Structure formats: structure tokens, C-alpha cells
Amino acid sequence: EVLYKVQHFRHLTGVETILSAKRFFHNAVNNKLQSSHIFFSSKHPYGLCLKKLKHINEVATLAGSESFMLEEIITNTRTYKFGTTDLNFSICMNMETDETEKQTGI
């Protein structure tokens, strides 16, 4: 089980940036991310980004393939509002919440 939060989206991409994690995410979601916002470094090398892209593509493939929509998925640690599966791999999604289950993210 893997949970990706808004503040961790930048890490998921494998690129370096001067933007805050939340600003990077919002710029990406709103199609406002510019080439000047991202670069590679010894900490975030181009090769690492390529490896991450491979797995992001697998997620994209699942999203575009014949799959089943799921609702109210219960795992050992969380309950998810909805998800999708091709019966081999599942992605569960939720709004971000705090420890009291109050919605905090988009």
C-alpha cells in the first residue's frame, strides 16, 4: 500500500525544482508547470527520472485499460473512497485528510 500526498508529488516525478512541493503540484495539475521550473541534479539525476517515468506509465496504462471501478475499498490500514483495478494491480484514491479524517487536500 502506497500513499501519495500533494506534498510528495514532486518526489514522485524525480525532478529538482525551486518551487515548493504544493506549488509544484498545483502548477502541474493546472498545466502551468514550465521547463524553467524543473532541472536535474546529482540528487535528482535524469536517469532516476527515467526510472520513475517507467512506473508512472504503468499507472497510466492501468488508467487507460479495461478495468473495474471500485468503491469503499477497505485495507488493513485505511478505507478508500474509490479505486480501479485490472485484477492484477489496484490503485486506491482518497482525498487527503488529517488525523481526525477532516479533508485537508484537493
Residue 66 CA to residue 98 CA, distance in Å, equals 33
**Does residue 101 contact residue 94 with C-beta atoms inside 8 Å?**
no
Q: Which residue has the cell 496504462?
A: 61
Quick one: pLDDT at residue 35?
Answer: 92
Average pLDDT over residues 1-26: 81
DSSP state letter for 15: -
* The pLDDT of residue 4: 64
